[in-house]
Amino acid sequence: MATIRMLLKSSVTRGEIEYMALDLDWQLYTRQEPDPTGHYVVWVDGEGDEQSVIIYTEDEVAELRYISVEGNNAQAVANQIKTTVSVYSRDELEEGVETAVGPDELMPAVRRLGASLTKTFEQWAFDVLTKGLAHPEPRVRLAALAAIGFPAWPAFLEPVAKLQETDSDIRVLRRAARLYGLLLKAAGKTE
């Protein structure tokens, strides 16, 4: 079963997402009303083995909005979404990280990149996020830690372990320790 996460561009409104769901005949499953941490809406499309689950998320903590699609038919549903609303392409996400000038541009670019990743390991993305862990600005290191939590690849265990032992910023140390525990759990390991 595939899972695809698409980052929405800032021009896309909540109303556009709701109309898209109506136009594509998705069935509302549940919704969480907006609160300080965010908002989500879940729809289903199709039946049986062809059923997809579509989740629209406004993540106030990560400062991101995205749509996740899970199911055997996820790619077809994702293609419908991409033709209906504006989402970041892989090239735009890569370019955002490569061309970022200063921490204020790099932080959201790194978070967007991380949120776009799935459980399938991608070396170039691992390298970008690991490089973010070594950035001299603590806010960028914190953004990289937040980004790493989305794919939660076991390969991040070593660089996050190193960071939780050596970083000079207490916020980074604490967040790295928390993420390290989550990565261990996701990898099925205990310490």
- Residue ranges per structural domain of the chain: 2-84, 90-186
What is the model's pLDDT at position 191?
Answer: 60
Of 16, 45, 5, 15, whose CA–CA distance to 28 is shortest? 45
Binning pLDDT at 50, 70 and 90, where does residue 76 land? very high
What is the model's pLDDT at position 1?
Answer: 67
What is the model's pLDDT at position 180?
Answer: 95
Bridge partner residues of 111 (DSSP):
none
| C-alpha dist (Å) from residue 4 to 14, 24, 28, 36, 74 | 19, 18, 19, 25, 7
CATH class of 2-84: alpha beta
In order, the DSSP letters of 124-189 are HHHHHHHHHHT-SSHHHHHHHHHHHTTT--GGGHHHHHHHHHH-S-HHHHHHHHHHHHHHHHHTT-
What is the model's pLDDT at position 62?
Answer: 83
pLDDT digits (tens, 9 = 90+) for 32-69: 887 888 889 999 999 988 899 999 999 988 889 999 99
Of 37, 24, 96, whose CA–CA distance to 64 is shortest? 37
More confident residue, 34 or 27: 27
On the question of pLDDT at 71 being above 80, the answer is: yes
Say which residue the tokens 């170039």 belong to. 124
Q: Which two tokens stand for residue 32?
A: 């969480």
**Global confidence as pTM:** 0.86
- Return the percentage of the chain with pLDDT > 70, whole number: 98
